[in-house]
């Protein structure tokens, strides 16, 4: 549900906790009376002014920088006041409370409140105001949250490109080409008695093919952008003492998990996000898979299977030094079979043969498929990293990637499906132009969902509710 978007709103715009600077932000119509109450004077537009922030008695709560952004030249498109104070949590709460109190104060001259209805903002409501007032489209608004949440440098740079409008411009270019094609089809429908074949003369088929090619390029960059944002979940699984914890430590470059020769040392999931060429990979080390009478270890093994079921990829670790032991090899195959039976066929299970530095040379041939490495020495780790990127579907694209979300990718897939049906209609000996026009309309609708040219209130509510307070 959309918030009441006509109310003035206020919030602490900086992260919780102590810091050198904290910001309280207010947005709404005609903030001048509130500015005078808090700052003791009017402020020049968009000019930082150092002054005291006044309480109800005229005493200073703090001294800091105040900036007034009159409408429409502000982030939200409304009047915006930013108070940059010292970043103590208690002080910022006092300053926010003072904003609410000053707004509700009844002016004796007018008999009205300075800023009626001022309330604390909901998560994402400042960005929502910017979207509703035409300062940002929906893809750019989402990029704000993505930029804040970015866990890698590549993700941050890609989110910045989306925020600047690069992704939106691509979508608008596709939409404009689609609108032009729809006009041709509608013209043919509206004037069927004309001898001129609008579609053939305007090379509608060539335009549609060009549109589909361009869509493919946008889809490729969007898929990479979604991967940069979400990453993939990789679970390391295998029997006890195969070197799972050592592999996690080697990939992370830190001693995150306890390594021991005692079977069953890892009894719970140890997870870490690593970067491989800017792509976030969420790696989980799990308890060794075996039958156990230890109650705590059994709980860890159950959690390991839970992690396996939710994985995007499995690294099944084999101990190369035990590869010629019949019982060990048989158990490995049984576990592999169970894992593959648990997962959808689309989830890859990669065989990783560990301890190459300790295995006799004659056993290295046991690694018939997969990757051979040594978690201890680091040999083979780069090959594993590259293989993980391949599994994730990462490609080094020649142009900059913009950050995208799963809903963007899904919308582009629907556009492609509708355009494919439209191409089939257009190529038919007797095209059914009504169906062709409908497929083009549905394609445009799917594109519009990305930038928010139209959309349901429920969709907007879900998107902006995931933002932090003050954004």
Report the binding-site residues for (6S)-5-formyl-5,6,7,8-tetrahydrofolate: 25, 82, 135, 471
Q: Could you tell me which residues are annotated as the binding site?
A: 25, 82, 135, 241-246, 260-266, 285-288, 374-376, 471
Alpha-carbon span 419 to 421, nearest angstrom = 5
CB neighbour list of residue 447: distance below 8 Å, 6 or more residues apart: 171, 174, 175, 178, 411, 415
Helix 138-149 vs helix 433-451: crossing angle, to nearest 10? 40
Residue in 205, 33, 26 with CA at minimum distance from that of residue 99: 26
Which token pair is 11? 């919030």
- Whose tokens are 């933002």? That residue is 467
Supply the angle between the helices 457-465 and 125-132 in degrees, to the nearest 10.
140
Spatial distance between the Cα atoms of 113 and 210, rounded to a whole number of angstroms: 59
Binding-site annotation, residues for GTP? 241-246, 260-266, 285-288, 374-376
Residue 281 corresponds to which tokens in the numbers above?
Answer: 């990979």
Alpha carbon separation from 403 to 74, 162, 230, 352 (Å, rounded): 25, 6, 10, 32
Binding-site residues from annotation for Mg(2+): 245, 266
């Amino acid at each position: 549900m959309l918030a009441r978007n006509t109310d003035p709103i206020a919030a602490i715009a900086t992260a919780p906790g102590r810091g050198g600077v904290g910001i309280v932000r207010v947005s709404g119509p005609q903030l001048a009376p509130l500015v005078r109450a808090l700052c003791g004077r009017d402020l020049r537009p968009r000019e930082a002014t150092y002054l005291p922030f006044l309480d109800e008695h005229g005493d200073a709560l703090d001294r800091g920088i105040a900036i007034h952004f009159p409408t429409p030249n502000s982030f939200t498109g409304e009047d915006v006041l930013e108070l940059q104070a010292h970043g103590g949590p208690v002080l910022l709460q006092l300053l926010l409370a003072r904003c609410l109190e000053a707004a509700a104060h009844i002016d004796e001259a007018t008999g009205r409140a300075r800023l009626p209805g001022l309330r604390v903002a909901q998560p994402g409501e400042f960005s929502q105001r910017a979207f509703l007032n035409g300062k940002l489209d929906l893809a750019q608004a989402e990029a704000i949250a993505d930029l804040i949440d970015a866990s890698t440098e590549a993700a941050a740079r890609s989110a910045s490109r989306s925020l600047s409008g690069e992704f939106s411009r691509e979508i608008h270019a596709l939409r404009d080409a689609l609108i032009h094609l729809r006009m041709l089809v509608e013209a043919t429908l509206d004037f069927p008695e004309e001898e001129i074949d609008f579609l053939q003369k305007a090379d509608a088929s060539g335009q549609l093919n060009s549109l589909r090619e361009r869509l493919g390029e946008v889809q490729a960059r969007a898929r990479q952008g979604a991967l940069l944002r979400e990453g993939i979940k990789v679970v390391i699984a295998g029997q006890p003492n195969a070197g799972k914890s050592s592999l996690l430590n080697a990939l992370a470059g830190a001693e995150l998990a306890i390594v021991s020769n005692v079977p069953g040392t890892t009894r719970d999931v140890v997870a870490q996000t690593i970067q491989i060429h800017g792509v976030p990979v969420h790696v989980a080390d799990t308890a060794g898979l075996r039958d156990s009478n230890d109650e705590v270890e059994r709980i860890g093994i159950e959690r390991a299977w839970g992690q396996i079921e939710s994985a995007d990829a499995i690294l099944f670790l084999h101990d190369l030094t035990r590869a010629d032991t019949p019982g060990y090899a048989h158990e490995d195959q049984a576990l592999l079979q169970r894992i593959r039976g648990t997962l959808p066929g689309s989830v890859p299970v990669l065989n990783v043969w560990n301890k190459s530095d300790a295995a006799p040379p004659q056993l290295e041939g046991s690694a018939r498929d997969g990757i051979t490495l040594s978690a201890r020495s680091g040999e083979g780790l780069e090959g594993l990293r590259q293989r993980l990127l391949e599994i994730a579907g990462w490609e080094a694209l020649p142009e900059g990637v913009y950050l995208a979300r799963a809903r963007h990718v899904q919308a582009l897939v629907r556009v492609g499906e509708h355009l494919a049906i439209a191409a089939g209609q257009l190529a038919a000996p007797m095209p059914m132009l009504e169906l062709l026009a409908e497929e083009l309309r549905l394609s445009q609708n799917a594109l519009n969902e990305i930038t928010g040219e139209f959309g349901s209130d429920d969709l907007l509510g879900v998107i902006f509710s995931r933002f932090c307070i003050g954004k």
